[in-house]
Chains A and B, each alone.
Chain A
Amino acid sequence: MIKAIIIDDERLARNELKKLLMEFPEIEVVAEAANAGEGIEKIENINPDLVFLDIQMPGKTGFDMLSELDRTPNVIFTTAYDEYALKAFEVNALDYLLKPVEPKRLADAIQKLHLQEDREQGPINPVNVNRSVLSENDQVFVKDGERCWFVRLADIRLFESVGNYAKVYFGPNKPLILKSLNALEERLDEKTFFRANRKHIVNLRLIDKIEPYFNGGLLLELKGGEKIEVSRRQTVKFKEMMSL
């Protein structure tokens, strides 16, 4: 069973989608929200597997809402016609449905979800015992100007502190997100993500080389070529973890 939430500011649009989803018994619509604020609340409480999300909503857009979430569920965007959103979908290869939704397109989108589920062998979002810690398989939504991504934490090499923001390194991209490094550290799994120094959190699985450095510290070279110094205090901890 896939738990789904519909977020759209129009009651009729939500009803119409619910009606269409009746054709898919594996999907259960467990909640609805009429704006981004309600949406965040319901996602955090219910922890759905799937969200149908309208882009243009009063207050905050669907994109803005997603960037505020620590962990994003699978998202299928819905929009009537919005040039800006359409461009974002195409540029970023996001899954979207155009309203009025064509049943065939909806079936395709749901099919894609099942394929993804099979590939990951298991439920889409494995129910974590401790949901306050983000696992490697969790994804976050990152938006940087016009570009946006759903990024699996496993693909992130490095978080770098830049004032109140954090720069997120994955693939060739390094967009900024509005989160402090300390807040991130609390939520990240410490088995994977390691606070190397005041300014950096590195993904231990994406380290390429480890070299000794001044003052008994270490220099880590990541898969993307970034060189990060491990402070002396953290070096002790790092060595302990790696010796396990």
Chain B
Amino acid sequence: MVKKISYYWLCQFVGWSAFILAYIFFYLTLRTSEVEDFYKVLFLEAAIGFLVTHLMRYFILRYKYVEKPVNEQVFYILSISIVFAMIYASAATMAEHYLEFGRERDLSLFNKIMRASMGSFTFILIWNLIYFAYHYIVRTRQAQFDKIRLEALVKELELKTIKSHINPHFIFNALNSIRALIDENPNRARTAITELSNILRSSMQSDKLETVPFERELSIVKDYLALEYIRFEERLRIEYEIDEDTLDQPVPPMMLQTLVENAIKHGIGKQVRGGVVKVISGFRDDYHELIVLNSGTLNGINRDGFGLFSTRNRLQLLFGEKAKFEIRQVESGLVEARISIPVELKKGVYDQSHYY
């Protein structure tokens, strides 16, 4: 930001100095006769021009004209240039009138202003063209940069999909439990295979979709926890607290699943006596909140791991800066991971314009 401000001031000074120098150059080389108060008038006009264009920039920023669609911008550039050319001309003419500079002709004040407006329109228009063009380029570059960043992240996630979404350790453990169940409880073994298939299928599809309805994600999480229950048996207690109205909300696929997987891996899997995993989904303020609570202790080491970083990043790319992800120790022996998704924004990776 500091750099942009200084660019603006630099351009203003250079621009208006060039204006002054150009006039002096033409005056000295091409003049046919001495103009009364030439230097005084020139510096006054440059100073007023400086102030008026600065005021104009204030309006442009205030009403965010640079953020409008490009075809509308053409209209704004022209109107702003006309209005401010007149303001500039009036200010300059009146100032000269009252300071009694260069009383050359006895024209009416209105006449003088209109004539001056015609001349200053060109300057103001050039000023605006430069200003809008600069912002257009900066914004296009930013958009391109965001797009590249997103693409890179998607690639990275795709590469890590199997590893970060479905842990191979989980798959093989599940298969091993199922093999043991075939003799012990054939019916449970059959359901377990269905559950495992569902999880594998959705993990393969997940990188193709930006969001899925929460209901779908929840069914994967349920299958996942049912399989983990086979492994952990009485060491794993599973609880759900789901607000039915949240079932249609869009969520990034496999995100809740990853949190639940971590709750098992770092929470339950580390306790000799096991513990509880609780999944909560509800609305709070303007957010859809997804919470995973698990017994365990946050050791701080994994706080900045790839998983947490990419979860946060993915949420913000999908739902904007307001989307949040936090993980913390809520009380001793209880860890909470919380995703907050703003409700009014349903989807759209490229629909971030409101945030500029």
Distance (whole angstroms) from the CB of B162 to the closest CB of chain A: 11
Distance (whole angstroms) from the CB of B227 to the closest CB of chain A: 12
Binds B, one of A10-18, A127-135, A138-146: A10-18
Size category of the binding interface on chain B: 20 to 34
Contact yes or no, A80 B172, CB < 8 A: yes
Which residues of B277-291 are within 8 A (CB) of A? none
Distance (whole angstroms) from the CB of A20 to the closest CB of chain B: 10
Chain B 36-61, CB-CB to A under 8 Å as 1, else 0, gives: 00000000000000000000000000
Distance (whole angstroms) from the CB of B318 to the closest CB of chain A: 29
Contact yes or no, B176 A13, CB < 8 A: yes
Asked if B326 lies at the interface with its beta carbon under 8 angstroms from chain A, I say: no
List, in ascending order, chain B residues with CB within 8 A of A56's CB: 169, 269
Asked if B173 lies at the interface with its beta carbon under 8 angstroms from chain A, I say: yes
List, in ascending order, chain A residues with CB within 8 A of B179's CB: 16, 100
Contact yes or no, A10 B232, CB < 8 A: yes
Which residues of B160-177 are within 8 A (CB) of A? 167-173, 175-177
A15 to B189 CA separation, bound complex (whole angstroms): 15
- Would A37 and B176 be within 8 Å (CB), given that A12-B230, A12-B231, A82-B169 are in contact? no
Contact yes or no, A99 B180, CB < 8 A: no
A153 to B269 CA separation, bound complex (whole angstroms): 35
- Would A58 and B272 be within 8 Å (CB), given that A10-B177, A15-B180, A19-B180 are in contact? yes
Contact yes or no, A81 B231, CB < 8 A: no
Contact yes or no, B180 A12, CB < 8 A: yes
List, in ascending order, chain A residues with CB within 8 A of B183's CB: 19
Size category of the binding interface on chain A: 10 to 19
Asked if B72 lies at the interface with its beta carbon under 8 angstroms from chain A, I say: no
Contact yes or no, B272 A100, CB < 8 A: no
Asked if A98 lies at the interface with its beta carbon under 8 angstroms from chain B, I say: yes
List, in ascending order, chain A residues with CB within 8 A of B272's CB: 35, 37, 58-59
Contact of B173 among A10, A11, A19, A37 (CB under 8 A): A10
Chain A 65-83, CB-CB to B under 8 Å as 1, else 0, gives: 0000000000000001110
Contact yes or no, A99 B233, CB < 8 A: no
A13 to B171 CA separation, bound complex (whole angstroms): 14
List, in ascending order, chain B residues with CB within 8 A of A10's CB: 173, 176-177, 231-233
Contact yes or no, A58 B269, CB < 8 A: yes
A59 to B235 CA separation, bound complex (whole angstroms): 13
Distance (whole angstroms) from the CB of A159 to the closest CB of chain B: 32
A10 to B272 CA separation, bound complex (whole angstroms): 11
Which residues of A40-60 are within 8 A (CB) of B? 56, 58-59
A82 to B163 CA separation, bound complex (whole angstroms): 11
A100 to B175 CA separation, bound complex (whole angstroms): 7
Contact yes or no, A16 B176, CB < 8 A: yes
Distance (whole angstroms) from the CB of A176 to the closest CB of chain B: 22
Q: Which residues of A contact B (CB under 8 A)?
A: 10-13, 15-16, 19, 35, 37, 56, 58-59, 80-82, 98-101
13 A–B contacts, CB within 8 A, in A order: A10-B173, A11-B233, A12-B184, A15-B180, A19-B183, A56-B269, A58-B269, A58-B271, A58-B274, A80-B169, A80-B170, A81-B171, A100-B175
> Contacts A10-B173, A99-B175 given; 11 further ones with Cβ under 8 A?
A12-B177, A12-B230, A12-B231, A16-B176, A56-B169, A58-B269, A58-B272, A80-B168, A80-B173, A82-B169, A100-B172
